[in-house]
A = this chain, B = another copy of it.
Amino acid sequence: MSCLHTILYDFSAEAGNNELTVKEGETLTVTNQSIGGGWIEAQNSRGEVGLVPEDYIEVKETQKLLFVSLHFQFLHIYTFYRRLLNSLYSLCLKHNHVCMYLLSGAEDDEWDDEWDDMKSTGGYAESESGDGGGMQRGGAHAPSMKISLNKFPGFSKPGPELYLLCKQLAKSKERLPIYVGEVGPVWSYPETQLDCVVADPKKGSKMYGLKSYIEYQITPNTTNRPVNHRYKHFDWLYERLLDKFGSAIPIPSLPDKQVTGRFEEEFIKVRMERLQGWMTRMCRHPVLSNSDVFQIFLTYKDEKDWKTGKRKAEKDETVGVMVFSTIEPEAADLDPVEVEQKCEQFSRFTKAMDDGVKEILTVGNEHWKRCTGPLPKEYQRIGKAFQNLSSVFTSSGYQGESTLTDAMTAAGKTYEEIAQMVADQPRKDLHFVMETNNEYKGLLGCFPDTIGYHKAAIEKVKEGDKLVAASKITPQDKVTMAKRVSIMSYALQAEMNHFHSNRIYDYNRVMQLYLEEQVNFYETIAAKLKQAHGQFTTM
């Protein structure tokens, strides 16, 4: 096995993956053929050792067959194990079985990596808006569909009464003040807004290349020091934020996970763009961006720091409805009638906006399909038809033909250029309208849950007299409940005001961008046609 093998194609090693750069025609000594995952460990003539793709090395057929056979046996066992685990999860999801909790406790981080990255979107509400240009445009899923295994083994989240009737609120050093600004109740906003850049997606691999993933570099504007995170870390962050703040603040889901085309350049680009969008939204939120868990995600110093932060966040007990206990509105208690009115208003608005956003997505998706499908084909055919007729004219043998034929050919080519422009345009403008509305569709999908908590709390307060009469609560409890539902209302109002201000900013920005690009598009077409027009003789 230690004989020399010839390299069939050039291969450039990726830094940090223990790979070896080799040139076509170079000879290597294979040092370890049992790496798996399509990799072979080899040593070059300069004594350097590293991984090289199996297919890049000339291997004698018998050796190769033996290796491939072993490789498949290994993959079989691996696949079998994954499938077993998958079935158990599915079974638990179906039967609400207690083993869910056991399984979740039996988390094996190594194995779970790939599971996490690879699993399909089956557990989420499927994306409604179809395929734009070969890529699935991100649909959103309601966070209620996402089951957090660590926190709620019983699958029923605690209702608002846990907070409303809590005798002694835990003294937490956390404090979320609400002020009353010009627009009404508002969160406390930082002086400089946190921001971060998600960039530089890198393919990494584990277990000798059998498992591979994408790692993104996230650089916050506070430290200007990049940290690396995989999709599963974003997912962990999402889970933590959802657990802790989900009752008060709608936490939009992460962009969909996808199995197919995971390493395709375009897919990585779009996923990164969406992770950037999600992170930007989180950064812009004064409560979320300021939370310990978000800060540790963005600013951990080393692996140890990260692990410690993770463990601490997972142990946080001020989660679910108890987050309201940290909220401190600096304003007078609200009348329960006003609380209910506000809640109803927000409910109506978010429902109506959800419909409006979905309408834009549907229409935009159809327009996308037309712009990238039949429309450019038609312009191309118009262009071809002009050019074909021009070429017939050229064959007339009649003198003085060329001014017309040159001009007609140019006009035909212009329509072919227009075809290309039409097909390319949606990525330049409609794309951003679709992305923004998709984000809002996701965000709006979280509101029914958030508003649901409030409605349940309002109902509880309404029952107050009856509960007192039935001696289920004391009159003092009733007063406390009314006070606490007022706090919840302040939180909801602050959140709605945050939503409105962001919405106005986002839609103003995306509409401007869209119209700007549309103006460019039509002006460029007009200019091109003007030039083509100029080639004809004036009569």
Q: Report if A400 contacts B (CB, 8 A).
A: yes
**A185 to chain B: closest CB distance in Å?**
12
The answer to whether residues A356 and B385 also contact, given A504-B401, A516-B533, A533-B515 and a CB cut-off of 8 A, is yes
Q: Report if A194 contacts B (CB, 8 A).
A: no
Q: Which residues of chain B have C-beta atoms less than 8 A from A392's C-beta?
A: 349, 352-353, 355-356
A385–B397 contact, CB under 8 A?
no
Which of A364, A523, A526 has the most chain B CB atoms closer than 10 A to its own CB?
Answer: A526
Q: Report if A522 contacts B (CB, 8 A).
A: yes
Q: Which residues of chain B have C-beta atoms less than 8 A from A359's C-beta?
A: 384-385, 388-389
Residues in A520-538 with C-beta less than 8 Å from chain B: 522-523, 525-526, 529-530, 532-533, 536-538
The answer to whether residues A508 and B529 also contact, given A356-B389, A359-B385, A389-B353 and a CB cut-off of 8 A, is no
**A92 to chain B: closest CB distance in Å?**
40
Q: Which residues of chain B have C-beta atoms less than 8 A from A525's C-beta?
A: 522
Q: Report if A434 contacts B (CB, 8 A).
A: no
Q: Report if A382 contacts B (CB, 8 A).
A: yes
Q: Which residues of chain B have C-beta atoms less than 8 A from A397's C-beta?
A: 345, 349
Complex: A530 Cα to B519 Cα, angstroms: 6
Complex: A355 Cα to B392 Cα, angstroms: 9
The stretch of A67-75, A259-267, A366-374 in contact with B is A366-374
A399–B183 contact, CB under 8 A?
yes
A411–B511 contact, CB under 8 A?
yes
Q: Report if A386 contacts B (CB, 8 A).
A: yes
Which of A364, A401, A522 has the most chain B CB atoms closer than 10 A to its own CB?
Answer: A522
Q: Which residues of chain B have C-beta atoms less than 8 A from A403's C-beta?
A: 508
Contact with B along A135-148 (1 / 0, CB 8 A): 00000000000000
**A143 to chain B: closest CB distance in Å?**
23
Complex: A97 Cα to B399 Cα, angstroms: 49
**Contact with A536, one of B512, B529, B537 (Cβ below 8 angstroms):** B512
Q: Which residues of chain B have C-beta atoms less than 8 A from A515's C-beta?
A: 411, 529-530, 532-533, 536
Q: Report if A363 contacts B (CB, 8 A).
A: yes
A529–B539 contact, CB under 8 A?
no
Complex: A410 Cα to B171 Cα, angstroms: 52
**Contact with A511, one of B407, B497, B522 (Cβ below 8 angstroms):** B407
Residues in A130-165 with C-beta less than 8 Å from chain B: none
Complex: A381 Cα to B529 Cα, angstroms: 28
**A373 to chain B: closest CB distance in Å?**
12
B509–A539 contact, CB under 8 A?
yes
**A526 to chain B: closest CB distance in Å?**
4
Q: Report if A404 contacts B (CB, 8 A).
A: yes
The answer to whether residues A389 and B366 also contact, given A508-B537, A526-B519 and a CB cut-off of 8 A, is no
The answer to whether residues A404 and B508 also contact, given A352-B392, A363-B385, A370-B374 and a CB cut-off of 8 A, is yes
**A334 to chain B: closest CB distance in Å?**
16
Smallest Cβ-Cβ distance to A351: which chain B residue: B392
Residues in A212-251 with C-beta less than 8 Å from chain B: none
Q: Report if A398 contacts B (CB, 8 A).
A: yes
**Contact with A400, one of B504, B516, B519, B536 (Cβ below 8 angstroms):** B504
Which of A348, A363, A374 has the most chain B CB atoms closer than 10 A to its own CB?
Answer: A363
Q: Report if A395 contacts B (CB, 8 A).
A: yes
A522–B512 contact, CB under 8 A?
no
Q: Which residues of chain B have C-beta atoms less than 8 A from A516's C-beta?
A: 533
Q: Which residues of chain B have C-beta atoms less than 8 A from A192's C-beta?
A: none
5 contacts between A and B (CB under 8 A): A353-B393, A393-B504, A404-B508, A512-B536, A516-B533
Chain A residues engaging chain B, CB cutoff 8 angstroms = 182-183, 345, 348-349, 352-353, 355-357, 359-360, 363-364, 366-367, 370, 374-375, 378, 381-382, 384-386, 388-389, 392-393, 395-401, 403-404, 407-408, 411, 496-497, 500-501, 503-505, 507-509, 511-512, 515-516, 518-519, 522-523, 525-526, 529-530, 532-533, 536-539
